[in-house]
Amino acid sequence: MNDVFKEQLVKKAKRAKDRIFSVGIIVNAIIIFIIYLGVASLIPVLQIFVPFIFVMLILACWHLIRRRNQEFEYAITNNEIDIDVIISKSRRKRVFSGYIRDIEAFRPLGSSEFEHTFSQVQAEKDFSSGRPEVVRYEFVANFQGQKMRIVVEPNEDLLASFKSHLKRGISKFN
């Protein structure tokens, strides 16, 4: 039997947007706490809940900031590719599943090959680390009833598995 199973984990890089999000969450929590203290000073019964509100705001900030820690897992099983997002190393969610033979076009990110196929996409998803120094690839596939452009960052081993299952004439590699 020639069964194939390959998998790869890709950690999403922190961007300026993620840092701004974290700072925004913390600033909003501080503002909410200050407003609550002001209201609690006017209504003495609410002062009982000040420690509870403080702890709840810290936990909410921690939870929301941790959700930004993401990893993508690519798994190729025979002709099928599955992409999962792993949030904070504790929760997994399937974000893409399809057959490699159903991919309409496959190319390195930024290439001009198959421009007609890539211009017809209805949605785009980036399941890569986002680091510009890493070679990324993009492909077009039908997923959930729409034509989707998907960006991935496969290593050489995974890329070889892609190549062996793609239909002839739909891929360009450097």
Which has the closest alpha carbon to 8: 76, 66, 63, 62?
76
- 168: Cβ–Cβ under 8 A, 6 or more apart, which residues? none
Whether 62 and 76 map to the same domain: the answer is no
Range of the domain at 55: 16-66
* pLDDT per residue as tens digits for the range 65-123: 998 889 999 999 888 999 999 998 889 999 999 888 888 888 888 888 888 788 888 88
Are residues 48 and 88 located together in one domain of the fold? no
In-domain check, residue 172 = no
Report the amino acid identity of residue 54. F
Same domain, 78 and 160: yes
Residue 124 · residue 109 · CB < 8 Å? no
Could you tell me the CATH number of the domain that includes residue 152?
A: 2.30.29
Domain count of the fold of the chain: 2
The residue among 26, 41, 66 that closes a domain is 66
Q: Is the entire prediction scored with pTM above 0.85?
A: no
β-partners of residue 54 are: none
Q: Is residue 131 part of a domain?
A: yes
For 20-35, the pLDDT digits (tens) are 999 999 999 999 999 9
Establish if 105 belongs to a structural domain: yes
Residue with tokens 């200050």: 34
- Cβ neighbours around 162 below 10 Å, total: 21
- What pLDDT is stored for residue 13 in this prediction? 87
The pLDDT score that the predictor gives to residue 87 is: 92
Question: What pLDDT score was predicted for residue 170?
Answer: 62
- How many CB atoms sit inside 10 A of residue 164's CB? 12
Whole-number Å distance between alpha carbons of 142 and 121: 9
Last residue of a domain, one of 28, 47, 66: 66
